[in-house]
Chain A
Amino acid sequence: MRSLGTLSDLAVGRRLGWRWTAIVVSLAVIALSTPALADPPPVAAACVKNWAVAKYDNPDNSDGGRMTWRVRTLSATDWAAGGFAAQVLWAGTNNVDELARWVEVGVTHGWQGQNLFTYYSAHGNLATGEYGEARITAVTPVVGNTDNFLVNLQSTYYGLAYVGSVDGHGLIWTTHWGYSKDYQGGLEATCNSSRVDRVYVQSSQRHRSAGVWISPSSGTLNGFTQPAGQPVTGTVAWCGLPKFRYAMNSAIDPNVCS
């Protein structure tokens, strides 16, 4: 068997040629000194996104919806990975059905990878990929307080997303107008291990354009999960339609309408 030799007698250099050996050695040094790319980012791979919502179709031209509920304890287990657990009101905009264009307002634990408990609003257009979200920083949510949440379209101008009343705190999204064909409320959590204590929605109304606030007489309950076959941990039930309750890993009795 031939000896591999040692570096001291430049055996490798003799076999490969010293130029090639130098190139190989320098490449190895650079490769070893380059920061490792193999560290995986903190993705919440084990999480399953959950929703549990009550949805109302607006049979005539409406310009928004509003709901009243108590702010409950929210705890997102995946907030550091960009996840959240939230109480949310969504309203469709721009005469588009099934919330393909929407404005939402709510309260969330977890915001943009930060351990925050905050009011927020978001908007989007599924067809174009337009999207935005922002904190409502003028007011801070308090667990136990009862809040009014409102999304209201103002003719051809903009969509309001308010906590409080029309004179409350909130944001105006200027690319939303027209009619609202549906609205819905409930929980949204990016991880099924997160906690949303039971929320009772004591009032749910849509606003008929240039008209009055109306309590819908029909609606649908939906619990969602992804991917199929994963457990649904968010639950939703009527408390005398249109009132309803929802919960997820609740630390208080989830089956009470209060």
Chain B
Amino acid sequence: MSTRLQSLGRFAATAAAVALGMLLAAVAIPQLTGVLGGGPPLEPTVSVQAGLTPRLDASTVQKIAEQHLASMQTMAAGGQAIAVHEISAVGGDRMASVEPAAPVEADASGIRWVVRATGTFVGQRVPPGNPPIVADTGYLIIDDATGEVVGMGMP
């Protein structure tokens, strides 16, 4: 009986150790990859144009961006990992100062958050006969007043 109990105990202890080790590895490996591999910083850099007082805070903007990136990833069946790198609040007429290819709003009156990220970016609005343009880096534009994603671009 005692032998059986000892075997059962060793069995349970080993199973627990293996499971714990794998869980730790699952958490630690992505962190180490980011640090040792020269990957992107874990926290995005945040900037706000002088003189602006946004309604949203950067963490809220980051969540909105991550949700939209997840949605784009699902829609495109993409596999690129999602990460937000830079978050900038600017006037709608100053977006190109953050992202050179971003649009300038001709009648801008509000604050826009420009978010640079990695993810699955797909541009489907292409001239007739051409396939979609796909990239794993890009930017999102989020309206500070409504929290809506109102623009995107790549690479």
A residues bordering B, Cβ < 8 Å? 9-10, 13, 18-19, 21-23, 25-27, 29-30, 40-43, 51, 53, 81-84, 86, 88, 90, 98-100, 102, 104, 112-113, 120-124, 126, 129-135, 137-138, 158, 160, 162, 169-175, 184, 186, 188, 190, 222, 224
Secondary structure call for the B interface: mixed
Known: A10-B4, A22-B14. A133 touches B151 (CB 8 A): yes
For A188, what are the chain B residues with a Cβ–Cβ distance below 8 Å? 125, 128
Q: When A160-B106, A174-B101 are in contact, do A18 and B11 touch as well, CB less than 8 Å?
A: yes
Q: Which residue of A lies closest to B155 (CB)?
A: A129
Q: Bound state CA distance, A22 and B9, in angstroms? A: 11
A162–B4 CA distance with the chains assembled, in angstroms: 81
Evaluate contact between A41 and B77: CB separation under 8 angstroms: yes
**CB contact between A112 and one of B77, B104, B109, B152 (< 8 Å): that residue:** B152
Whether a CB of chain A sits under 8 angstroms from the CB of B40 is no
Within 8 A of A (CB), among B74-125: 74-77, 96, 100-107, 109, 121-125
Contacts of B143 in A (CB 8 A): 137
Closest to B71 in A: A113
Q: For the complex formed, measure the closest distance between the CB of A136 and the CB atoms of chain B, giving whole angstroms.
A: 8
Interface on B for A, CB 8 Å cutoff?
Answer: 4, 7-8, 10-12, 14-16, 18-19, 22-23, 68, 71-72, 74-77, 96, 100-107, 109, 121-130, 133, 135, 141, 143, 149-155
The reply to whether B77 and A86 contact each other, CB–CB distance below 8 Å, is no
For residue A22, which residues in chain B have a CB less than 8 angstroms away from its CB?
10-12, 14-15, 18
Residue of B nearest to A116 (CB): B148
Q: Name the residue on A nearest B93 (C-beta).
A: A172
Q: CA separation between A170 and B93, bound complex, in Å?
A: 11
Interface centre among B8, B72, B102, B107 (most CB of A within 10 A): B107
List, sorted by A's number, 12 A–B pairs whose CB atoms are closer than 8 Å.
A19-B14, A30-B22, A41-B75, A104-B125, A104-B127, A113-B75, A123-B103, A124-B125, A129-B133, A131-B135, A131-B154, A132-B151
